[in-house]
Amino acid sequence: MHTFSVTLPDWVAEELPAGPLLTDTDRMALVHRLAARNPGEGGGGPFAALVVESETGRLVSAGVNCVLSSGLSVAHAEVVALSLAQTRLGGWDLGADGLPAHELVVNWRPCAQCYGATLWSGVRRLVVAGEGAELEELTGFDEGPVPEDWAERFEQRGIAVTVGVLRERALEVFAEYGRGAAAGEYTVYNARGNGG
Amino acid sequence: MHTFSVTLPDWVAEELPAGPLLTDTDRMALVHRLAARNPGEGGGGPFAALVVESETGRLVSAGVNCVLSSGLSVAHAEVVALSLAQTRLGGWDLGADGLPAHELVVNWRPCAQCYGATLWSGVRRLVVAGEGAELEELTGFDEGPVPEDWAERFEQRGIAVTVGVLRERALEVFAEYGRGAAAGEYTVYNARGNGG
């Protein structure tokens, strides 16, 4: 076994639109639909991400958290979406010369790992529904240490940041997951120690 | 294309010992051999990592940076080693009940992404040759923002940290890579903007 792989679950295709996603709201509404459905489908946590061509709204890839389904702790929604996009476009740099500008749309500020994964991906914009402690409080996940000036660090590297698209719906999805987890319906991975 | 995958290059197997790696020095010496060879083989940067059973020294997996060979920006050495180990052991948690304690051995303090990936992997110990600005200065790579108290954050989550095993050899490997990159032999990815 010298290979590891992640496969997007089949149900995700059912949720994807045929046409482009023209506005931030269109894009985030799809993220929230995928995130809300993922735990019940057994993929992992209530997290989803899209890679979209910023200008045209063409959907390049969708990702959901696949930690449980793939058995890989790295398989967060952002990593799945970014890696599928790079596989489809044929290279490690979504910002390469000759490509249109790409953006990552995700339902909360990325965790410590996905913060770095986004930095190295070549996307030129990051759109999140929100940031703050609510995610950890509502779901029980540990997000790890991310710098206070996280958005500025993206901007320094040429990645524009937009925060606050359909934020309330993100919190509803997290709260629903938290109730399910408390009732023993879901496995909260990444919870060891929970940082302090 | 609903799947992405990373395959370890065949040459890595040539470098792996038949028996266990009993000491930190044994483990790091292997990391440095893999890291030094990787750029010339076309995998990516001069970085390698091992997942080892801490007590017995059994090698569970080896990883090298595969960004160029896989076309995936996430495929840093730590992610490759951790994901191969999880694939072999059958789950997303290398610290699961019933498993022996595992550690990650790598030739420098992980970048922003791999810092998080290590946190979520279930390893109970991280061994690095060194930390500090030398990596970026010698190779031209951007490592991204990692908290000043990065080692303490690992310890808070039950991951012991050891810094300073065969440090000088790490710097030699980085310097050799830097000379090759300056001569146009290698592609330094992840270099956009370089943070500031």
**How many folded domains does chain B comprise?**
1
Structure-model confidence comparison of residues B111 and A188, the more confident one: B111
Residue A190 pLDDT exceeds 70:
no
Tokens of A111: 């965790």
Q: What element of type H or E holds A103? A: strand A102-106
What does pTM read for this prediction?
Answer: 0.96
Amino acid at B91: G
The pLDDT assigned to B194 comes to 39
Residue B153 pLDDT exceeds 50:
yes
Interface predicted TM-score (ipTM): 0.96
The pLDDT assigned to A188 comes to 83
The pLDDT assigned to B190 comes to 67
Q: Is residue B14 part of a domain?
A: no
Q: Is residue B27 part of a domain?
A: yes
Task: Using a CB–CB cutoff of 8 Å, tell me whether A95 touches chain B.
Answer: yes
The pLDDT assigned to A187 comes to 82
Task: Using a CB–CB cutoff of 8 Å, tell me whether B93 touches chain A.
Answer: yes
Q: Is residue B91 part of a domain?
A: yes
The pLDDT assigned to A192 comes to 54
pLDDT band at B192 (very low <50, low <70, confident <90, very high): low
Average pLDDT over residues A29-52: 98
The torsion region of residue B161 among left (phi > 0), alpha (psi -120 to 50) and beta comes to beta
Q: Is residue A82 part of a domain?
A: yes
The pLDDT assigned to A191 comes to 52
Amino acid at A58: R
pLDDT band at B188 (very low <50, low <70, confident <90, very high): confident
Half-sphere exposure of B124 (CA within 13 A, CB side): 12
- What does pLDDT average to over chain A? 95
- What are the pLDDT digits (tens) for A105-121? 999 999 999 999 999 99
Residue A29 pLDDT exceeds 80:
yes
Please give the residue range of the domain that contains residue B135: 20-182
CA atoms of B163 and B185, how far apart (whole Å):
30
- At B109 the three-state DSSP class reads coil
The pLDDT assigned to B195 comes to 37
The pLDDT assigned to B187 comes to 82
CA atoms of B47 and B35, how far apart (whole Å):
5
CA atoms of A73 and A10, how far apart (whole Å):
20
| Residue B17: Cβ within 10 Å count | 10
Q: Is residue A4 part of a domain?
A: no
- What are the pLDDT digits (tens) for A95-153? 999 999 999 999 999 999 999 999 999 999 999 999 999 999 999 999 999 999 999 99
Structure-model confidence comparison of residues B156 and A193, the more confident one: B156
Average pLDDT over residues B153-180: 97
The pLDDT assigned to A196 comes to 33
Name the minimum distance, in Å, from the CA of B150 to any CA of chain A: 9
The pLDDT assigned to B63 comes to 98
The pLDDT assigned to A63 comes to 98
- What are the pLDDT digits (tens) for B17-68? 999 999 999 999 999 999 999 999 999 999 999 999 999 999 999 999 999 9
Q: What sign has the CA pseudo-torsion A60, A85, A83, A22?
A: negative
Tokens of B54: 């801490």
Task: Using a CB–CB cutoff of 8 Å, tell me whether A156 touches chain B.
Answer: yes
Nearest Cα residue to B196 out of A155, A8, A140: A155
Q: Is residue A131 part of a domain?
A: yes
- Residues 108-147 of chain B whose Cβ lies under 8 A from any Cβ of chain A: 111-117, 119-122, 142, 144-145, 147
Residue A85 pLDDT exceeds 60:
yes
Residue B191 pLDDT exceeds 60:
no
Cβ pair B46, B172 in contact under 8 A: no
Distances (CA, A) of A96 to A99, B83, B125, B192: 6, 27, 37, 10
Q: Is residue A3 part of a domain?
A: no
The pLDDT assigned to A193 comes to 43
The pLDDT assigned to B48 comes to 98
Nearest Cα residue to A102 out of A85, A120, A119: A85
The pLDDT assigned to B55 comes to 98
- What are the pLDDT digits (tens) for A148-169? 999 999 999 999 999 999 999 9
Average pLDDT over residues A60-72: 98
Contacts of A115 in chain B (CB under 8 A): 112-113, 116, 144
Distances (CA, A) of B47 to A80, A95, B114: 23, 23, 12
Task: Using a CB–CB cutoff of 8 Å, tell me whether B11 touches chain A.
Answer: no
* CATH number for the domain harbouring residue B43: 3.40.140.10
Average pLDDT over residues B92-102: 97
Task: Using a CB–CB cutoff of 8 Å, tell me whether A20 touches chain B.
Answer: no
Q: Is residue A144 part of a domain?
A: yes
Cβ pair A124, A54 in contact under 8 A: yes
Name the minimum distance, in Å, from the CA of B63 to any CA of chain A: 10
